[in-house]
Chains A and B, each alone.
Chain A
Amino acid sequence: MKKQLPLLIGFLAGSFAIAEFYIPAGIVRDIQSKLLEFASVLAAAAFVLGGINVIQVNLPIILHRRPDWQYKVVLMLGAAAMLLAGIEWHSLAAAPAPTQVTERPTGTTALAISASRDDAELSVDNKPFVPLGSGWREPVAPGAHNVAVRIPQPGYSAIAMPITVRAGMELTLRVPVRMLWGPSGRVYTWMYDHVFGPCNATMFALLSFFIASAAFRAFRARNLDAALLLGAAIIIMLGRVPIGRAIAGWLPALSDWIIDIPNNAGRRAIMMGAAIGAVATSLRVILGLERSHLGRD
């Protein structure tokens, strides 16, 4: 039963997934989308397990001062900081104060706007944003106007609202702007943009150096195959840069031919073989022929 039940569930779910691919009728799609929702819930739950795994792996290393435990401290602190910054703390606080709107007769039709922060920016009637500073006051035409107030950096609340100014009246707006928490909040976006982003780009940038070192090894003409590879690589590289055309006008065309014809033929052969292999593997798993993950018979 321990083996048969997973096989049966796998068979039913897999068969349904195959059938769904060929049956466009709404009810089948509805069931499929429900199953995908289940999968999303499972994946979200697995993230909790992932977090637990990070603690299980790294915490004992820190506690027992095993080699390189300092790196684990940085890891745990980083994970904790992102976790805390990712929680929408502002939603736990009291509801934000609404925009205060007051109207008084001054004889001049005008709009006066201020915000709770001096670094806020203002846009009236979809014009470009300008610094709001300690306040903004301008005469305006009577009627409807669009007002938008924001902080130039991400992670703050922004307000865009239509207002109507009556003739001879001055409308005063006091806009509360507050810092947000959570994935689109100030702290999270700052850490993402200023810490994670540069580190990520650095890792990706390593690729260019690794391509050079790997190419150097791969292009050593040790035998006929490697010599062919080297020759093709030289033609492709020269065909892709202006100096290639200067050396010989036919080099770019030859480079394109190598990519479009022999290279494409090889790519398609691999692709088709992999696709049919994937079909066979899927059937093997769905039909329960592949059961090494369930233990020996």
Chain B
Amino acid sequence: MPALVLSILLALAAPHDLQLAPAKNDDGHHLVLRFTGSADATRYAVYRSVSAPGTAPPVLDLPPWQRVKTLDAEAGPMTTVDEVPDSNTEYSYAVRAELVPPGAAVATEIGPPALVGPARPRAAWFDGSRTFMLTIVLGTLILLAVYYQRAKRSPKAIYVRRIPGIDAMEEAIGRSTEMGRPVLYVPGIEEIQDIQTVAGLVILGHVAEAAARYETEIRVTCMIPLVMVVAEEVVRQAFANAGRPDAHRPENVQFVSSEQFAFTAGVNGIIMREKPATAIYMGRFYGESLVLAEAGFLNHSIQIAGTAELTQLPFFIAACDYTIIGEELFAVSAYLSRDPRQLSALKASDMVKLAVLALIVVGTILNAFGAWDIGSWVTP
């Protein structure tokens, strides 16, 4: 019997060149284990222990050892990342090769274990893989400060090109006033933390203020209750800004449903029954975009849509009178307010865009000649 056990244990060689290191850019809960496999193994069993490995061969299937992973054998060096429960504890690892014949569930041959460790995971205070993104944010921040100072000195120096969709908003609200029909506003169907929803709510402030000035009813329909709460506050403030707080009707900001197509059916019902002369869709939309826009088209509403959701842009372009595309959605508020502080942010983002464009051109040329791989620098 001992001879049989010995033959089983010695049939497969132990993995070698084991290395254990904390994961890079980590939150302090991951260790990286690298090793080179043994010939004939079909898989490797990885065991973890909180104690130092010691010199005697461990009994791997008993505590403190715990089987944490089973890896299919691959040619060449193998790497695995293990999530450990405690960031302040040292861990040791053992790896052993196993041979599982095709169709079998259990290993028929098991190799001796190879040990490595102990090592402790390390929490990083900066995620190096996000350096490029940080550069973009800091670049925008610095340019924003520069253009803010410039805008304070000479507010008229910042030129913003015409955006027809935004220019049409006031005209569309005026049309609603003339026809005595409401303005419908949909701030997308995403959660409040989505930047497009934030942009949609900021634009809602301007639209509601214009509607208040024109003494026109504005209906806001929301799919997310938290968005409804914020939208209600935005509209209330807009009516106060316009000097008509008494004209604000809280029930005009409406939570319809948190289900996508129930919401769509509800908004379509409002479009078909209340016949708004103007429908404005600003924010993130998905499959309901065309259903809403086509209902508005059938109702002969002036429709203005704005989204940075690429898949829905063609639908809005096909069905709406004006479409605010991608980045323009984030420029609407600054464009409408003409506030130099906000226009400076537009200018800053334009400059960053120019820098990224230059980087793409230079990077493409250098990459074509094999001098520099821009991709590995942007997303290492």
- A, B assembled together: yes
Contacts from A to B (Cβ < 8 Å)? 18, 21-27, 29, 39, 42-43, 46-47, 49-50, 53-54, 56-57, 60, 67-68, 71, 196, 199-200, 203-204, 206-207, 210-211, 213-215, 217-218, 267, 270-274, 276-285, 287, 289-290, 292-296
- Inter-chain contact A25/B258, CB cutoff 8 Å: no
Q: A24-B27, A279-B136 known; A274 and B127 CB under 8 Å?
A: no
> From DSSP, what is the main secondary structure of chain B's interface residues?
helix
Closest chain A CB from B213 CB (angstroms): 13
B172 contacts A by Cβ under 8 Å:
no
- A residues within 8 A CB of B230? 293
Closest Cβ neighbor of A27 among chain B residues: B123
- Inter-chain contact B241/A281, CB cutoff 8 Å: no
0/1 string, B326-367, CB within 8 A of A gives 1: 111111011001010110111011001100100000000000
The distance in angstroms between the C-alpha atoms of A46 and B325, with both chains bound, is 31
Interface residues of B in 274-331 (CB under 8 A from A): 287, 290-291, 293-294, 297, 308, 310, 313, 315, 317-319, 325-331
- Inter-chain contact A21/B136, CB cutoff 8 Å: no
- Inter-chain contact B259/A196, CB cutoff 8 Å: yes
Contacts across chains A and B counted by CB atoms under 8 Å: 202
Given A278-B195, A289-B144: 20 more A-B contacts, CB < 8 Å: A21-B130, A22-B127, A22-B134, A24-B28, A25-B125, A26-B29, A46-B226, A49-B225, A54-B255, A203-B261, A207-B287, A213-B294, A271-B310, A277-B308, A279-B140, A283-B345, A289-B344, A290-B202, A292-B206, A296-B241
Q: A276-B349, A279-B137 known; A289 and B315 CB under 8 Å?
A: no
Closest chain B CB from A206 CB (angstroms): 6
Contacts from B to A (Cβ < 8 Å)? 25-29, 87, 123-127, 130, 133-134, 136-137, 140-141, 144, 148, 191-193, 195-196, 198-199, 201-202, 205-206, 224-226, 228-230, 233-234, 237, 240-241, 250-251, 253-255, 258-259, 261-262, 264-265, 269, 273, 287, 290-291, 293-294, 297, 308, 310, 313, 315, 317-319, 325-331, 333-334, 337, 339, 341-342, 344-346, 348-349, 352-353, 356
Q: A26-B29, A26-B123, A270-B310 known; A276 and B356 CB under 8 Å?
A: yes
- Inter-chain contact B226/A203, CB cutoff 8 Å: no
Of A56, A203, A218, chain B has the most CB atoms within 10 Å of the CB of A203
- Inter-chain contact A39/B327, CB cutoff 8 Å: no
Closest Cβ neighbor of B298 among chain A residues: A213
Closest Cβ neighbor of A217 among chain B residues: B318
- Inter-chain contact A199/B294, CB cutoff 8 Å: no
Of A29, A285, A290, A296, chain B has the most CB atoms within 10 Å of the CB of A290
- Inter-chain contact A215/B318, CB cutoff 8 Å: yes
Nearest first, the 9 closest Cβ-Cβ pairs linking A and B are A50-B225, A277-B327, A277-B330, A280-B349, A203-B261, A274-B308, A273-B327, A46-B225, A218-B318
- Inter-chain contact A26/B342, CB cutoff 8 Å: no
Closest chain B CB from A19 CB (angstroms): 10
Of A18, A68, A273, A285, chain B has the most CB atoms within 10 Å of the CB of A273
- A residues within 8 A CB of B293? 214
- B residues within 8 A CB of A281? 195, 198-199, 330, 345
